[in-house]
């Protein structure tokens, strides 16, 4: 049977390193559940703990979740590069801005490059060997020059990047086809919406995705974290990808129901190191 006649899926947990409860849900999902990949947020307080986990478990797959925003009301992130080198990326207190609109309107591409290179180099200096680069809140899809920075970093560090017109659209940017830099854009991507969360529920959304998954390679983006006071405080006044959302993700992708559904639908879980992915996206 050819690859195009089979169903391959990366179940990818964003935001590793955000918090202890995020790390724990992701770790348990990768070791015992149905999470096949994740990516680490280097500027976050719990990055170090997650990095140590992967150094102990080198067989697992992880990338770097390149971060330019800190969207939480009482839990901002500071950059990794010296702040005097990246003034367009930070507020008066030296923290990342919470909104993508500020990135779109004001950030300078050369400063974005300096900050994201620093994030990657911190991870590499710890002995980590990431399989890919992706973008938190898909800020690197907001402008053509930011996409080009993204591509430049992928080439510099010989790592595949997640380029997607679908994720660009979800970030609120509209490009003409001629405006997009050349590259490999991957579109068989699934991510729950706030409407899915509030109306039918996340379990229903994920059941539908797995039941109807097309042949070939697909990517399902999730945000697992166990219910805790920590996550409630971090996601204060932020129900979109908030504490309840993340707990539902954690429970679903650590469940026997999910594992059984994958088997019943003959879906093969793979990660970014699989030849099908590296052949498609390259580095």
The stretch 172-185 carries a mean pLDDT of 89
Indicate if the pLDDT at residue 52 is higher than 80: yes
The DSSP line for 242-274 is: -HHHHHHHHHHHTSHHHHHHHHHTTEEE--TTS
Average pLDDT over the chain, rounded to an integer: 96
Tell me the C-alpha to C-alpha distance, in Å, between residue 51 and each of 41, 100, 134, 249: 10, 27, 17, 22
> What mean pLDDT do residues 255-259 have?
98
On whether the CB atoms of residues 274 and 216 are closer than 8 A, the answer is: no
Give the residue-averaged pLDDT of 205-228: 98
User: Which residue, chain included where needed, has tokens 């080009």?
Assistant: 148
Per-position DSSP letters for 76-91, written without gaps between them: ----SS-GGG-GGGB-
* pLDDT above 90: percentage of residues in the chain: 94
84 contact partners, CB below 8 Å, separation of at least 6: none
pLDDT of residue 135: 98
Of 68-77, 113-122, 172-181, 185-194, minimum mean pLDDT range: 172-181
- Confirm if 173 and 104 have CB atoms less than 8 A apart: yes
Give the CATH number of domain 3-65+122-145+157-177+184-281: 3.20.20.370
Distance of alpha carbon 270 from alpha carbon 159, whole angstroms: 17
Residue 40: pLDDT band (50, 70, 90) is very high
Confidence of residue 282 (pLDDT cuts 50, 70, 90): confident
Q: Which residues contact 234 (CB under 8 A, 6 or more apart)?
A: 18, 19, 72, 74, 75, 243
Mean pLDDT across 228-245: 96
Compute the average pLDDT of residues 234-263: 97
With cut-offs at 50, 70 and 90, classify the pLDDT of residue 1.
Answer: very low
In the chain, where are the structural domains located? 3-65+122-145+157-177+184-281
pLDDT digits (tens, 9 = 90+) for 96-122: 999 999 999 999 999 999 999 999 999
Output the pLDDT for position 176: 83
- Token look-up 């996206």 returns 281
Q: What is the pLDDT of residue 283?
A: 65
pLDDT score, position 2: 57
């Amino acid at each position: 049977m050819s690859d195009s006649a089979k169903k391959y899926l990366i179940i990818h947990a964003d935001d590793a390193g955000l918090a202890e409860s995020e790390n724990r849900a992701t770790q348990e999902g990768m070791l015992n559940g149905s999470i096949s990949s994740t990516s680490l947020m280097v500027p976050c307080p719990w990055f170090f703990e997650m990095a140590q986990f992967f150094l102990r478990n080198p067989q697992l797959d992880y990338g770097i979740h390149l971060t330019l925003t800190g969207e939480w009301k009482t839990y901002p992130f500071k950059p990794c590069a010296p702040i005097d080198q990246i003034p367009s990326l930070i507020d008066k207190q030296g923290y990342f801005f919470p909104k993508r609109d500020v990135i779109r309107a004001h950030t300078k591409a050369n400063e974005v490059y300096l900050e994201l290179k620093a994030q990657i180099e911190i991870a590499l200096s710890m002995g980590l060997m990431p399989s890919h680069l992706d973008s938190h809140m898909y800020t690197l899809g907001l402008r053509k020059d930011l996409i080009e920075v993204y591509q430049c970093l992928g080439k510099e560090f010989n790592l595949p990047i997640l380029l997607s017109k679908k994720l660009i659209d979800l970030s609120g940017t509209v490009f003409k086809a001629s405006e997009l830099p050349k590259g490999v854009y991957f579109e068989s991507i699934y991510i729950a919406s706030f409407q899915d969360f509030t109306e039918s529920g996340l379990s229903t959304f994920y059941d539908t995705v797995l039941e109807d998954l097309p042949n070939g390679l697909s990517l399902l983006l999730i945000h697992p974290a166990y219910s805790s006071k920590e996550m409630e405080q971090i996601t204060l006044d932020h129900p979109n990808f908030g504490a309840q959302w993340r707990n539902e993700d954690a429970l679903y992708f650590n469940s026997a129901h999910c594992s059984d559904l994958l088997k019943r639908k003959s879906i093969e879980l793979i990660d970014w190191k699989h030849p099908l992915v590296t052949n498609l996206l390259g580095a």
